[in-house]
Amino acid sequence: MARESFDKEIQFLRMLVLTSGAFSRQQFAERLGISVHTFDKTIRRLKDVVSSMHQHLPQEQRKELSETIRFSYYDSADPLLLFLFRAKSVKESESQRISLLLGAMNEQALTAMELLDMYCGSLSPGLPLPDEKTIRSDLKYLEEVGVIKRESGPRPYRYRIQDELVRSLSDEELMDLYDFVDVMANTQVPSVQGYLLRDGLKKHLLRNQARQHAVEPFLYKYHYYSRILDEAHLFTLLHAIRQRRKVHFLYFSPKSEQSYVARSTNPLFERGTEGKTEKTLPLKIVYDHQYGRWYLLSYGREGIRKYRMEGITQIEEDESVNEAWYEEKKHELAEKIRYSWLIDTGRPVTVRARFYNPEDSEPNFVKERVRLQGQWGQIVMEDEHSFLYEITVNGTTEIKPWLRSFGSSCEVLEPARLRREMIAEWKEIQAYYESV
């Protein structure tokens, strides 16, 4: 069976989050490159996942999907898009069996035969009985993902759930662990595994009498909320990098209107798509904090290539390459991006800008922000009213928005071209508001 792909769901959720409310069903489906029928089906499927994750909410709290994943700051620090990673399909009977087995191993260490007996005993009559092989393969899977552990001792082997993490900690310690996981998942990347762990710990705390109030003490301001969607590709790409393997995928440039297309078995239907098949060798992954976006930097026929993670669909691994050559390419890339504000590999230029201190305010928030966000740039001169900031960057395109975000507190001195561009742009902005 082909591996289940979540491209459609990812593109779908991203669009829903970014354009919340902008499009009709028809427009939405068109932009995704799917039929309205598939659109409805996808929405139904995602709703199922969401409602089973929030099954304990009273009926009136179960909102529409678009409402549910609307960003609402003071409600909760729960990452609502996390449910995407709960969407892997599993047969009803299998989900029942696995949860029952885990429940049994929660209390004691058991052998495969004991589990089989227990399981058969708990089934309602008339249902087909599982065989020993099924149970053994379940155990193998659960051991592989690290959920259960085989106890040491002679055959027959006994298995028990691997929950030292909560079992050996006191309530106080569990609280500290929960907080740490919450903070790190929210402030570091990657975060999805952290959010999954947070979810498990939270439920565990709530089961043990903690109140809702106790598990949500933290808020995080100005998060890029859809960033966790792209972590879906992260581990596939990391695997390829570790194995020095090429990958191929269907790429939708963010500038194209469409962002997904149904996988078609008939090549005749592929003509109409805007996506482009790319084959490339992944070298590095970049997370851009300025927008909360992910990039893949790779090596292709034309040299260094850059892809936005959000445009990558139908990704698959390909052949591996020679180690020495791979290291060489990696080194080449490292040299090229040394001065990238984000990912620009253009010619390095030195940018000099004067920043003006706020007139009557202490602390100096301008300087504080330059120090925080100015990356490897240096403050080279200071007087009472202003300071000079200098940085060497590849091209000026990527740093420009940041400089502009300081408004009149920043004056670009060099290069002259950037200075002229800034002046022209401020003139345009002024014209927007002059009539006000």
Partner 1 sequence: MNLFEKIFNHQIISRLEDSGTFMVTSHERAWLKTMLDHPAAADAFTPGTLDKLRSILEPDQVMDTSRHLIEKARSQEQQVYHPLLRPLRRHIMNKTGIRLTYQIKSGRVNTDHSGCPYKLEYSMVKREWYLLWYHTRHHAFMRTRLKNIHSVAAEPMEPSMAEGILKKLGKKLDSRRSEAVIEIIRDYNEELSRILYAFSSFEKNVEYDTENDTYRVRVSLSADELEYLLSKLRFLGKRVRVMEGDYLKRRMLEASTKALDRYGVISEGEELSS
Residues of this chain, 126-145, that bind partner 1 according to CB under 8 A: 141-142, 145
DSSP annotation of 82: G
Choice from 30, 38, 43, 53 touching partner 1 (CB under 8 A) = 53
Q: Does 293 engage in binding with partner 1 (CB under 8 A)? A: yes
- Closest contact distance (angstroms) between CB of 53 and partner 1 is 5
Structure tokens at 261: 């297309």
Choice from 30, 78, 114, 163 touching partner 1 (CB under 8 A) = 163
Taking the least distance from each CB to partner 1, the nearer of 269 and 327 is: 327
CA dist., res. 341 & res. 289, Å (int) = 11
Mention every residue, 6+ apart, whose C-beta is less than 8 A from residue 12: 32, 42, 46, 260
Binding segment (CB under 8 A) for partner 1, from list 112-120, 218-226, 269-277, 389-397: 218-226
- Closest contact distance (angstroms) between CB of 283 and partner 1 is 8
Dihedral sign for Cα 258, 260, 262, 264, please.
positive
DSSP annotation of 71: -
- Closest contact distance (angstroms) between CB of 409 and partner 1 is 9
Choice from 250, 285, 391, 393 touching partner 1 (CB under 8 A) = 285
Choice from 43, 109, 118, 189 touching partner 1 (CB under 8 A) = 189
Report in angstroms the alpha-carbon separations of 146 from 47, 149, 162: 29, 7, 7
Binding segment (CB under 8 A) for partner 1, from list 108-116, 233-241, 260-268, 312-320: 233-241
- Closest contact distance (angstroms) between CB of 184 and partner 1 is 4
- Closest contact distance (angstroms) between CB of 268 and partner 1 is 30
Binding segment (CB under 8 A) for partner 1, from list 122-130, 178-186, 269-277, 298-306: 178-186
CA dist., res. 209 & res. 261, Å (int) = 47
Closest residue by Cα to residue 341 from 418, 232, 278:
418
Other residues' Cβ atoms within 10 Å of the Cβ of residue 343:
19
Dihedral sign for Cα 19, 25, 30, 33, please.
positive
Widest Cα–Cα separation across the chain: 86
CA dist., res. 332 & res. 281, Å (int) = 13
Other residues' Cβ atoms within 10 Å of the Cβ of residue 190:
17
What is the length of the chain?
436
CA dist., res. 297 & res. 307, Å (int) = 6
Q: Does 362 engage in binding with partner 1 (CB under 8 A)? A: yes
Classify 400 as helix, strand or coil: helix
Q: For residues 385-414, which are near partner 1 according to CB under 8 A? A: 401-402, 404-408, 411, 413
Choice from 35, 106, 137, 350 touching partner 1 (CB under 8 A) = 106
Q: Order of strands across the sheet with 410-414? A: 378-382, 386-394, 348-356, 410-414
Taking the least distance from each CB to partner 1, the nearer of 163 and 270 is: 163
Choice from 111, 224, 321, 364 touching partner 1 (CB under 8 A) = 224
Taking the least distance from each CB to partner 1, the nearer of 270 and 404 is: 404
Choice from 35, 193, 243, 378 touching partner 1 (CB under 8 A) = 193
Choice from 67, 140, 180, 264 touching partner 1 (CB under 8 A) = 180
Q: How many residues bind partner 1 (CB under 8 A)?
A: 141
